[in-house]
Structure 1
Amino acid sequence: MLKLTYTEGSFYLECLTQSPEEWVAQRVILALRVGQSLCVEPSTASFLLPVDLPGVDLLKAEVKRDDSEIISLCVCDTEFLEVTLRGSWLSDNSENAVGVFTTTMSDRAEFLLHKLWQEAQACASVMSE
């Protein structure tokens, strides 16, 4: 499972071994115990990856091979590729842009996507220094 945590200024992507159903169930139980409202709804999440990252072609091939509608790729311009995922959005308010998005796809696609995201973060931090 991929979990994307969106904050006010950024997001963090991680791979988890739990299924989305298990993770959401645990999150619902936690919200009930602490008295927090929780909105869970089907949604999409998108983020950008540099097109020149090594491994982008592997991701494109995996998306074609998998042929599911969970992930789609779209070239934005000469520098970036938009990754769009289908899954579930969890937040304390349905209008909130801060929350957690979960989805699941093939292990290979999840691994490639996570690795590419990590490489993009490393490149961005080097460029900002």
Structure 2
Amino acid sequence: MLKLTYTETSFHLECLTQSLEEWVAQRVILALRIGQSLCVEPSSASFLLPVALPGLEQLKFEVQWDERKTIVLCVCDTNYLEVTLRGSWLSDGSEDVKGVFVTTISDRTELLLHKLWLAATSCASAMSE
């Protein structure tokens, strides 16, 4: 399962071994116990990856085998590729930009996508130093 945690200024991508259903059920139970509103709805999430990342061709190959079309790649410009994922958005239901997006694709594709995201974030932080 992939979990994207959105904040006001950025997002964080995690690769979890727990099933999507199990994770969502635990979030629902937590919200009930602490008296917090929880909204779960179908959604999509997108982020950019630099086209120069090693391993991006492997991701393109893996996406071809995704019969459910959970992941879609689109060239933005000469420098970036947009990754769009279909899944579920969990939030408190407010118009706030804070929330969590979760989805599940093949384990292999999830691990590869996480690895690429980590490489992209380390490149971005190295460039800003």
Q: d(CA) in 2 for partners of 1:36 and 1:45?
A: 24
Report the TM-score when normalising by structure 2. Answer: 0.97
Structure 1 spans left out of the alignment, 5+ residues: none
Residue 46 of structure 1 corresponds to 46
Report the TM-score when normalising by structure 1. Answer: 0.97
Partner of 2:17: helix, strand, or coil?
coil
Question: Which residue identity lines up with residue 101 of structure 1 in the other structure?
Answer: F
Following superposition, the deviation at residue 15 of structure 1 comes to: 0.5
Partner of 1:66: helix, strand, or coil?
coil
Q: d(CA) in 1 for partners of 2:101 and 2:5?
A: 6
Q: d(CA) in 2 for partners of 1:71 and 1:56?
A: 14
**Identity, % of aligned pairs?**
75
Structure 2 spans left out of the alignment, 5+ residues: none
Q: Which runs of 4+ in 1 moved over 6 A?
A: none
| Residue 14 of structure 2 corresponds to residue 17 of structure 1 | no
Following superposition, the deviation at residue 66 of structure 1 comes to: 2.8
Residue 69 of structure 2 corresponds to 69
Map Cα deviations across residues 77-119 of structure 1 (whole Å, 9 max, x no partner).
Answer: 0000000000000000153321000000001110110000000
Residue 4 of structure 1 corresponds to 4
Q: d(CA) in 1 for partners of 2:67 and 2:53?
A: 22
Q: State the number of aligned residues.
A: 129
Q: d(CA) in 1 for partners of 2:67 and 2:61?
A: 10
Residue 80 of structure 1 corresponds to 80
Residue 111 of structure 1 corresponds to 111
